Amino acid sequence: MRHFLTLADYTKEEILEILELAAKIKKETKNKEFVKYMPNQTLGMIFEKSSTRTRVSFETGIYQLGGIGLFLSSNDIQLGRGEPMSDTSRVISRMVDMVMIRTFAQSKIEEFAKYSKVPVINGLTTEYHPVQLMADYLTIQEAGLDKDLVVAYVGDGNNMAHSWLNMAAKLGFELRISTPKGYEVDQTILDKALEMAKESGAKIIIGNCPKDAVKNATVVTTDTWVSMGQEDEKEQRLKDFDGYIVDSAMMQLAASNAIFLHCLPAYRGYEVSDEVMESEQSLIFEEAENRLHAQKGVMVWLDRHRNAN
């Protein structure tokens, strides 16, 4: 049974195959050709963390594929009342055709997948956000920047940074991550990415100077400095991230054809300036829309490979 828990579980060829499928489905959608790739199938959507883009994109996506999405918050199911993840998995996976989970620890979604009878998709965990990276890379492909790609990630060494590490390590492009001291990426995840990069030829650079990271980069990206559950750290984080805002001055250091990406929600004036958000270089809303199309690609691919070992 194939699941979509982290990009590290996939080969370069498989990632590109999913993206090609996503692009095909997107073209059909734009032409109002809603091909029923998954007729009458049900996607169980478990949300322990709330979300705008994740819910709308998955629920709309499964509907356009011919199925139906079932929204399940932790308040709606026994999981929120202490039922073990393994029991929840064995119950729900007997009733639906696929499951998407947006939760906290990666270990929780891995446990769910271990006992599941159907494919499981990671809609976000504290450690990884792989579906967002699929949307990001689809946006990069559409911008024609996937050749000689240099990505600069500026900000917190969080799940987005970890997923960029996996994507770069698998596809073989140059990734520069710049974080304040004390906010670096997880060392174990970095070590695994560096090991994978030996095969793909990826160049991964870790540092603490955002200007060095952005210089001549073709993609500049960031994420919120204060993620869900970190609100009590806000004042300290704003001090620690001083100088890491992606503003016009920083974007001028990037390549002339560079684009700006952000997984959203964005806090204008903190990690990114309003001017950059509204600039012609910003593809954030195209990127947000591509969550829909990329995830449809993931779902259809998993459905086709559900009997694979």
Look up residue 26 and give its two tokens: 């997107």
Active site residue 132: yes
Residue 125's nearest CA partner among 91, 70, 162, 79 is 162
Asked if residue 111 lies in contact with residue 86, where contact means CB atoms within 8 angstroms, the answer is yes
Catalytic position from the list 3, 53, 55, 291: 291
Residue 262 has which token pair? Answer: 């952000």
Instruction: Give the Cβ contact number of residue 195 at 10 Å.
Output: 10
Please list the residues that pair with 220 across neighbouring strands: 152, 260
Nearest by Cα to 170 from 2, 4, 15: 15
How far apart are alpha carbons 134 and 141 in whole angstroms? 11
User: Looking at this protein, which amino acid is placed at residue 160?
Assistant: M
Distance of alpha carbon 119 from alpha carbon 44, whole angstroms: 11
Q: Examine the residue annotation and report whether 186 is marked as an active-site residue of this protein.
A: no
129 a catalytic residue: yes
Establish whether 64 is a catalytic residue. Answer: no
The whole-angstrom separation of Cα 233 and Cα 158 is 15
Give me the catalytic one of 53, 102, 176, 262. Answer: 102
Catalytic residue among 2, 136, 263, 303: 263
Q: Is 2 a catalytic residue?
A: no
Cα-Cα-Cα-Cα dihedral sign, residues 193, 196, 202, 203: positive
Q: Which one of the listed residues 41, 64, 106, 132 is annotated catalytic?
A: 132
Any idea how long the chain is?
Answer: 309
- Can you tell me which residue has the tokens 């509907």? 63
Q: Which one of the listed residues 162, 223, 262, 295 is annotated catalytic?
A: 223
Residue 308 phi, psi dihedral angles, 5° rounding: -75, 150
Residue 282 per-residue DSSP state: B
From 3, 53, 55, 129, active-site residue: 129
Q: Is 295 a catalytic residue?
A: no
By annotation, the residues acting in catalysis are: 102, 129, 132, 223, 263, 291
